[in-house]
Amino acid sequence: MIKLAVYGKGGIGKSTTVSNLSAALSDMGYKVMQIGCDPKADSTVSLHGKPKVATVLDLVRTRKNDFTLDDMVTEGYGGVLCVEAGGPTPGLGCAGRGIIAALEKLAEKGAYEVYKPDIVIYDVLGDVVCGGFSMPMRGGYADQVFVITSGENMAIHAAANIAMAVEGFKGRGYAQLGGIILNRRNVKNEEAKVEELASDIHSRVIAALSRSDTVQDAEDLGKTVVEAFPDSPMAQEYRDLAKTILEICGVTTC
């Protein structure tokens, strides 16, 4: 089983990229589980098209332990298994602790043994990398961490902090930094700034995704680009990203 964590600043297009990556991997024949680790619980919406699904924390709050894996998992495009960790009641809890509780509940219920996914992708908010937000990069969860950024200063700052967190766990056998994904916003000197970031954190830019109207067109339809516009150049960029990530994880693709 390949386990990946994708981090990035909120609003950078992280969940859009992850969902298209999941869809592309599913089209390649892999059984994929995508776990949204954002209190907004909107990571997987373009995969299943539902306005709202039950989050793990919703189930814990309302039903204690009286629920099944099927209550936690929603099947989306291409059979992608969609899970949303969810967040605490506003003002009454810590989002980081919520992520810890949700991931522990998935393990307790035997999600990985029952569904046997080939690839698990944790979609994690990276504005802060503390407590529960660092959980997916710890032992037993992701093996590789990928960071999405644009050339905007706040996005680069968040990406650097994420890389520092991965480096801090390095001696414990936790996840490794697999690389940087540039999600272009077409700001000045964008590629040069992101290449400089990659050099500073001793990593590399593994993909540079175009800023494309096709992404918004697909979102307006409530779908991924891979599903809505499979023959588009943008869909091919996501498929190329999927192949690159598999190769980094040691999987040979044709």
Positions marked catalytic: 9, 14, 40, 127
Where does residue 170 rank: exposed (0-12), middle (13-18), buried (19+ CB within 10 A)? exposed
Question: Is residue 239 a contact partner of residue 227, using CB atoms and an 8 Å limit?
Answer: no
**Cβ neighbours for 73, distance < 8 A, ≥ 6 positions apart:** 33, 81, 82, 83, 111, 115
Q: CA angle 9-14-17, nearest 5°?
A: 160
Q: CA angle 101-76-213, nearest 5°?
A: 105
Looking at beta carbons, which pairs linking 200-206 to residues 24 or more positions away fall under 8 Å?
200/160, 201/159, 201/160, 201/163, 201/164, 201/167, 201/177, 203/163, 203/177, 203/179, 204/179, 204/180, 205/179, 205/180, 205/181, 206/146, 206/178, 206/179, 206/180, 206/181, 206/241, 206/244, 206/245, 206/248
Q: Which two tokens stand for residue 214?
A: 């096709």
